[in-house]
Amino acid sequence: MFLRITVTKIFLFLLISSTFLERTSFITALPSAVSVSPGKNVTFHCRFHVHEKDKAFYDGVTVGVLQRGGISLTLMTVASNRNIIINPKLAEEGPEYNQRVHALLSTNKTNNDTSIISVVLTDVNESHEKSYACSMYFGPYKEPVVSSVSILVQGKNQPGGLSVCCK
């Protein structure tokens, strides 16, 4: 009995593992860096595709502030049912983003069901100069697929609003 249960667990583990080894799901943040003047709006995009084999495990896409290799503050989520959810706790968790995060989801049915999340941050200031991540989650059995974008605020330290550095 014990051997039968163990063999079943091993088989399930191998089945799940092989599914992820063949995965062609992807996410890409576009552009990789964007420069914006203080007080202006900035837009970046998260382009993604969920492969048919991954759909049973797919939990959604999260966009947030990237820190130490992970998302430290969630700005918004696209749930697996395609609903966009702006973090309802931004007023407490990230007041500098409250009422400044907007998103639109579109899907290109002719291009292999590739979707694009357009994320807009309004009235950008120095506190928004950070890296942001687009992250796809596939449940507890696999690491998320992540891509990032950096927002650079022009002229933040220069008189007259001139920027002297960029990546």
Give the model's pLDDT for residue 104.
95
In a domain, 81, yes or no: yes
Percent of the chain at pLDDT > 90 equals: 56
Would you say 52 and 80 are in contact if contact means Cβ atoms under 8 Å apart?
no
Number of domains present in the structure of the chain: 1
Give the residue with greater pLDDT, 87 vs 161. 87
Give the model's pLDDT for residue 111.
67
Structure tokens at 92: 């407490």
99-108 pLDDT per residue, tens: 999 999 998 8
Identify the band that residue 8 occupies on the pLDDT scale cut at 50, 70 and 90.
very low
Strands 26-30 and 42-49: antiparallel
Structure tokens at 125: 């200031």
Percent of the chain at pLDDT > 70 equals: 78
Alpha-carbon distance 132 to 100, whole Å?
15
In a domain, 117, yes or no: yes
The CA dihedral of 64, 67, 72, 76, to the nearest 10 degrees, is 0
In a domain, 132, yes or no: yes
What is the arithmetic mean of pLDDT over 48-76? Answer: 92
What is the extent of the structural domain holding 41?
Answer: 24-154
What are residue 67's DSSP bridge partners?
70
In a domain, 165, yes or no: no
pLDDT at 15 over 90: no
Alpha-carbon distance 154 to 126, whole Å?
9
In a domain, 6, yes or no: no
pLDDT at 162 over 50: no
**CA atoms within 13 A of residue 108's CA, in its CB half-sphere:** 10
Give the model's pLDDT for residue 156.
61
Would you say 144 and 23 are in contact if contact means Cβ atoms under 8 Å apart?
no
In a domain, 122, yes or no: yes
Residue 70 identity: G
In a domain, 69, yes or no: yes
CATH number for the domain that contains residue 64 = 2.60.40.10
In a domain, 130, yes or no: yes
pTM above 0.95, yes or no: no
Give the model's pLDDT for residue 142.
77
